[in-house]
């Protein structure tokens, strides 16, 4: 099934000059870039991207990370989720971002595999986060540090549709055929 998904290289990926390496991972996998732009987003836009719907999910992820590291989680899930969302908003507004819409067969799941686990410590070698980042969520939380994980990728079809509409107008998305497309689709 042909799908589209949003990928955003976060400020640390840009500041560390990893743009080309990251983009090539997707192109090498046969995914087509149908929209791309660099922009510096403001807090309001970041709040739309990291919607309040994520608060509980973020709190649960934090709890799970603590427990997987053998640490006791004693915080309120909702409070922790709000704290993490606030940190994510601060992080994503620290510098410019490169946003892309990728298209291809099973793009959402392929991109998630290429990107690796949200928590870099848990990301497998060979993934973007596994190769270029390593901080554990629990370590970051305990030491009040931001989990700098280089890249955002839509979690599922629903998120992809919402995020693409947020980041791109229809006029900014393009249809074309890659030279190798007959071999990939």
Residues annotated as part of the active site: 152
Q: Are 92 and 12 in contact (CB under 8 A)?
A: no
Name every residue whose Cβ is closer than 8 Å to that of residue 143 and which is 6 or more positions away in sequence: none
Distance of CA 85 to the CA centre of its chain: 14
CA angle 96, 101, 94 (to 5 degrees): 15
Cα separations in angstroms, 124 against 11, 98, 116, 132, 142: 22, 24, 6, 11, 23
Residue 132 main-chain phi, psi, to 5 deg: -120, 0
| Contact in structure between 7 and 129 (CB atoms under 8 Å) | no
């Amino acid at each position: 099934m042909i799908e589209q998904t949003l990928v955003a290289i976060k400020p640390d990926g840009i500041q560390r000059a990893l743009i080309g390496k990251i983009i090539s991972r997707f192109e090498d996998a046969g995914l087509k870039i149908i929209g791309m732009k660099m922009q510096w987003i403001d807090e309001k836009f970041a709040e739309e991207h990291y919607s309040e719907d994520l608060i509980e999910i973020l709190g649960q992820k934090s709890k799970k990370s603590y427990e997987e590291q053998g640490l006791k989680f004693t915080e309120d899930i909702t409070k922790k989720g709000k704290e993490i969302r606030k940190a994510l908003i601060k992080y994503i507004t620290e510098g410019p971002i490169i946003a892309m819409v990728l298209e291809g067969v099973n793009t959402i799941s392929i991109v998630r595999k290429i990107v690796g686990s949200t928590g870099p410590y848990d990301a497998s070698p060979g993934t973007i986060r596994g190769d270029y980042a390593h901080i554990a969520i629990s370590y970051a939380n305990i030491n009040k540090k931001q989990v700098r994980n280089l890249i955002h990728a839509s979690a599922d079809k629903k998120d992809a549709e919402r995020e693409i509409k947020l980041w791109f107008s229809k006029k900014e998305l393009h249809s074309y055929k890659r030279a190798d497309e007959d071999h990939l689709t």
